[in-house]
A and B are shown apart, each in its own frame.
Chain A
Amino acid sequence: MELRSKAARLAVAHPGVLLAACPGATRARLAVEEELLRRSWPVVAGPASANLLVVVGDPDPARADWAENLWNGIPEPKSRAVVREAEQATAALDDGHLALFGPDDQVSVSPREERRMNGVLPSGRAGSRRREGHAPDGPAHAVRDGAAHHDCAEHETESHHSGHSGDGQDEAHGTHGGGHGHDMHAMSVVAGLPMADRADDRDGLRLDRLHVPLGPALLDWPAGLVLRLALQGDVVQQAEVDQISVRASSRHPFWNDPWLRVIAGERVERGLAARRLCAAHLDSVGRFLAVSGWDDEAKRARSARRRVLAGASVEELGVLLRPWARQLRRSRTLRWLTRGLGELSSERAAAAGVTGPALVAGGDAYCRLLVWLDEIERAAAVCGDTRVLDATELSGPRGRLNGPVPPSQALLDVLPGLLEGAEFAGARIIVASLDPDLDELVPVVDSRVAHE
């Protein structure tokens, strides 16, 4: 027993972290990511390999069942932490980690004993340790492997609309199903789950079709975005944009903060805005590269982002960014792999009200990447500019901030059209190449907003 418990402790010394970031919490997310890097805790791709669920932001407690579903999908031993503000990151992670070695040491319970106990969890050890008790209390029994999805069968027989699609709450990582509403013909139900329906595919073959909600806790995914997809195999037939609901925020969206302050009549240095723009694009490019399966370069983008936000000098950034950007531009493989994905002409972009890099690029995912790279280098070169940003330059990382709608809304509007017919991997790259920032859509609680 002694040995086993020691091994168990060793196994969670670097817990796998499942990061579920909500809109409006970019600052907190960056802090958590930095802290995870410092501790070298791996950020995992899904609940199956996670030990620690970290919810970043302030989800609407009335509609946070996605978080509960994520939690239920994580195998024991597990714990969770909620990080609402950047300053809480360290403490919340510490607490979450500590909860993994609970005093009742469930870590050492074997799966066999566990199963014998048949899912009667003593009040949800880790659940009760939840840092801020923010998410609604989930059914304690839902934690066990076998019993994990019992509740789902009940929903499903009730109505196809409210149910989970497939075991959607697992594979789509977090959303509470519900994609069945589009097709009204009756579906047969097996094990409480609807069977896939049929539809013509792009070649006119009649094939199975699945309704799958994607997000919000996917890796390298815009925080809080949920896409409701109709999939045939791995081809997207239809996409609908949704998002998780969060409570109103008292802050400006982090990436847009300098420009919004100018709108509010403050004096902001150009260098500060350039720095923010540069970091925002590095964040986007990091996601783009990670989704394209180039982890090494994605890591470099992220570490550059950290340096930019930490206030590195123009010289240092030049040395850091120039060779990196050059290598990306020269990579033929990257070009070959991302060419032709998510073609968005300037006219179409303009018609939809897109104003940022996606409009400038006027092309496919690869074009958008190149625009980002150009803007990153241009912005990095003027990070030291101390002149005042004037009120005519209100273009944030995703577009003009004094337009009728937030720039990311326009990106979300064009997204479904671009996704149709794309294969899953291509769809992920298309989403990453637009990288809508849902922070911009979070309702602001007060007109006299606080600043970062």
Chain B
Amino acid sequence: MQQRRRTTAADVALTRLGVVLLPVAALLAAAVVPLGFRSVSDLADGIVWFNAMEALAWAAVWLAGWGPNSTLALIGGYRFLAQGLAYELPHMLAITTAALGAESLRVGEVVDTQAGLWFAVWMPVAFAIYLLSAMAMAFWGPFDQPAGRDVAGGAAAELSGVDRIVFLGGRWLLLTVAAAFSVPLFLGGGNGPLLPPWLWTVLKTVAVLAFLVWIRRKVPTLRMDRYMEVAWVVLTPLAILQALVVALVVLVR
């Protein structure tokens, strides 16, 4: 019920574009996430699609931060770009590892390969890195700096009324979709005993989300000036090692 507001010399079009783009990116990414074994569209390169759509969020947050012509919002935008640089490299290696394990970029095939053993079990590093980047891409929990309270809401600092709801709702949607995508990638998708596949997907997604919500209470916000080093010096080599191990297993198998 709160009204929209506008700041001086704001670029309203860009701001609105950024605001709307965030939930749209989340929905587009969700298109390749299967519920049970069926998704809206099981593209041949679904994993790449997901990654591309999730990267749209970079544009969304940057535009929403840039548009209002306000320093604190702009800082929020900057922070998300830095965060993107930090999380994206290990993240891409992690999802590539899952694709490597299934020898396919098709999400459906990744799920089928996990009928026996979940990828989370034999590629735990990739799974852990994915969970980190799920929070980072939705700038949430320990990665909430782009919308941090220390910059009065950062990229969302100047958004009010419907803009605010759409933007922050889009963020939740993105977090949920990111959590949901970890299920086909690492947790066996709809595979599971007794219950119907769709229910397994939902249960696993809820479990991942619950974990992400819980972790927020345990860790302070990670600043990118510190995290960047970890991401590039520790996580990226770890992700490469993990990919190497998986590649060897796939070759030998």
Contacts and interface: CB of A to CB of B under 8 A. Distances in A.
Interface stretch (B34-42, B91-99, B173-181, B222-230): B222-230
B75 A8 contact: no
Contacts of A46: 72, 152-153, 157-158
Nearest to A109: B3
Contacts of B1: 7-8, 11-12, 77, 107
B150 to A, nearest CB: 5
A48 B158 contact: yes
A424 B223 CA distance: 10
Interface string A432-451: 00000000000000000000
Interface in B140-179: 142, 144-145, 148-153, 156-161, 164
A51 B5 CA distance: 13
Contacts of A233: 75, 78
B73 interface: yes
A152 B7 CA distance: 11
A152 B8 contact: yes
Interface stretch (A141-149, A253-261, A378-386, A391-399): A141-149
Interface string B215-236: 0011111110110000000000
Contacts of A166: 8, 69-71
Contacts of A191: 8-9
B70 A333 contact: no
A164 B8 CA distance: 10
Contact of B226 (A75, A77, A297, A337): A337
A73 interface: yes
B158 A170 contact: yes
Contacts of A153: 8
With a 10 A CB-CB cut-off, give which of A7, A45, A220, A293 has the most chain B CB atoms.
A293
B2 to A, nearest CB: 5
Contacts of B3: 75-77, 111, 114, 145
Contacts of B225: 423, 425-426
Interface string A180-195: 0000000000111100
Contacts of B79: 234, 425
A218 B152 contact: yes
A289 interface: yes
Contacts of B157: 45-46, 48, 171
Contact of A167 (B8, B160, B226): B8
Interface in A205-260: 210, 212, 218-220, 231, 233-234
Contacts of A336: 226
Contact of A45 (B6, B69, B152): B152
A49 interface: yes
B7 A170 contact: yes
A76 B2 contact: yes
A48 B5 contact: yes
Contact of B5 (A148, A289, A333): A148
A428 B151 CA distance: 9
Contacts of A294: 219-221
Nearest to B230: A336
A111 B220 contact: no
A12 B150 CA distance: 24
Nearest to A111: B3
A167 B9 contact: yes
Contact of B71 (A111, A171, A220, A296): A171
A372 to B, nearest CB: 16
Contacts of A426: 223, 225
Interface in A52-88: 73-77
B89 to A, nearest CB: 20
Nearest to A427: B150
Contacts of B7: 148-149, 167, 170-171
Q: 4 smallest A-B Cβ distances: which pairs?
A: A293-B221, A294-B220, A46-B152, A191-B9
Interface of B: 1-10, 68-73, 75, 78-79, 142, 144-145, 148-153, 156-161, 164, 217-223, 225-226
13 contacts: A45-B157, A46-B72, A49-B153, A75-B5, A76-B2, A145-B3, A145-B5, A166-B8, A172-B71, A234-B79, A293-B220, A423-B225, A425-B148
